């Protein structure tokens, strides 16, 4: 959980930052910790989005784009989701491939700035809440990695715990990989950020640093997960 405490006065920073409305500074700090996600910022009875996130949410969740004044920071784009309709709009955003960070109010509203923290991060392949899952359909999170002339493929349904891996060694491994991905139809597929030759991936593609896919690290993670000393 990413936790944010109210900002104090900022010595040595530029005058514009020093004069920023505290809630704006809080929002930007939380957003900086989750730059690749849409940040839903709880503000009373709404989850608000700002700046480019607001434009994206207004378009993909099909809600109204407005604006809000933050004092010296000026007006910024804003789009809000009623808290009682959160799951409905989360479903819309996840279906088009967005990752979403949800910042909740951690202290009661009153005098001063309400403390907020990101309590959940959702992506198309990591949803486990029944209300956000399609009925009678697996929602796989897949990962693809090239290792020399071979391809590795793993997939998991986080809502059921189903997990499988396979390695494709043949000369037509890339074709077979594409066929397996088409069969699985993953909601999200993780790929190394340094590799451009991965086959077309159904659903949303998320790039991760190459070191996440190193065989030795992957082996250690699996051994810890399954409580074993070896995968053989």
N-term to C-term CA, the chain: 35
Q: Could you tell me how many residues make up the chain?
A: 232
Q: Which residues contact 213 (CB under 8 A, 6 or more apart)?
A: 143, 145, 152, 192
In this prediction, residue 128 carries a pLDDT of 84
Sequential pLDDT tens for the chain (232 residues): 544 443 332 223 333 445 678 889 999 999 999 999 999 999 999 999 999 999 999 999 999 999 988 877 678 999 999 999 999 999 999 988 899 999 999 998 887 899 999 999 999 998 888 888 777 778 899 999 888 778 889 999 988 889 999 888 867 777 888 889 989 989 999 988 876 656 667 778 888 888 888 888 888 888 998 888 887 7
In this prediction, residue 195 carries a pLDDT of 65
In this prediction, residue 222 carries a pLDDT of 86
DSSP state letters, the chain: -EEEPPP---TTS-HHHHTS-HHHHHHHHHHHHSTTSEEEEEETTEEEEEHHHHHHHHHHTT---EEEE-GGG-EEEEEEEEGGGHHHHHHHHHHTT--EEEEEE-S-SSSSPPPEEEEEEE-TT----GGGSPTT----EEEEEEETTEEEEEEEETTTTEEEEEEE-STTHHHHHHHHHHHH--SEEEEETT---PPP-SSEEEEE-GGGG-HHHHHHHHHHHHT-S---
CB 47 within 8 A of CB 86: yes
CB 35 within 8 A of CB 41: no
CATH of domain 141-226: 3.30.420.110
Q: Which CATH architecture has domain 2-122?
A: 3-Layer(aba) Sandwich (3.40)
131-135, Cβ contacts within 8 angstroms, sequence gap of 24 or more = 131/87, 132/87, 132/90, 132/91, 132/94, 133/159
Domain ranges, ordered by start, for the chain = 2-122, 141-226
Closest to 146 measured CA to CA, from 118, 169, 163: 169
In this prediction, residue 69 carries a pLDDT of 86
Interatomic CA distance for residues 171 and 80, integer angstroms: 51
Structure tokens at 208: 């991760």
Interatomic CA distance for residues 160 and 229, integer angstroms: 25
In this prediction, residue 8 carries a pLDDT of 34
């Amino acid at each position: 959980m990413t936790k944010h405490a109210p900002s104090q006065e900022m010595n040595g920073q530029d005058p514009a930052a020093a004069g920023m409305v505290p809630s704006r500074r809080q929002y930007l700090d939380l957003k900086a910790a989750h730059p690749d996600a849409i940040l839903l910022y709880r503000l009373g009875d709404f989850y608000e989005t700002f700046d480019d996130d607001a434009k994206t949410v207004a378009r993909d969740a099909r809600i109204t784009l407005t604006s809000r004044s933050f004092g010296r920071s000026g007006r910024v784009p804003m789009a809000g989701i009623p808290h009682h309709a959160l799951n409905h709009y989360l479903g819309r955003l996840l279906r088009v491939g967005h990752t979403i960070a949800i910042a909740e109010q951690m202290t009661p509203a009153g005098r001063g700035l309400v403390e907020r923290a990101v309590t959940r991060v959702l992506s198309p392949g990591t949803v486990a809440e029944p209300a956000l899952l399609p009925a009678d359909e697996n929602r796989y999170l897949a990962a693809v990695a090239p290792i020399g002339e071979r391809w590795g493929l793993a997939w998991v349904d986080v809502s059921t715990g189903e997990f499988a891996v396979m390695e494709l060694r043949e000369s037509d491994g890339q074709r077979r990989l594409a066929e397996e991905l088409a069969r699985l139809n993953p909601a999200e597929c993780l790929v190394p950020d340094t590799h451009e030759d991965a086959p077309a991936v159904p659903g949303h593609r998320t790039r991760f640093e190459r070191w996440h896919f190193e065989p030795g690290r992957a082996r250690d993670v699996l051994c810890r997960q399954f409580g074993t000393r070896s995968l053989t």
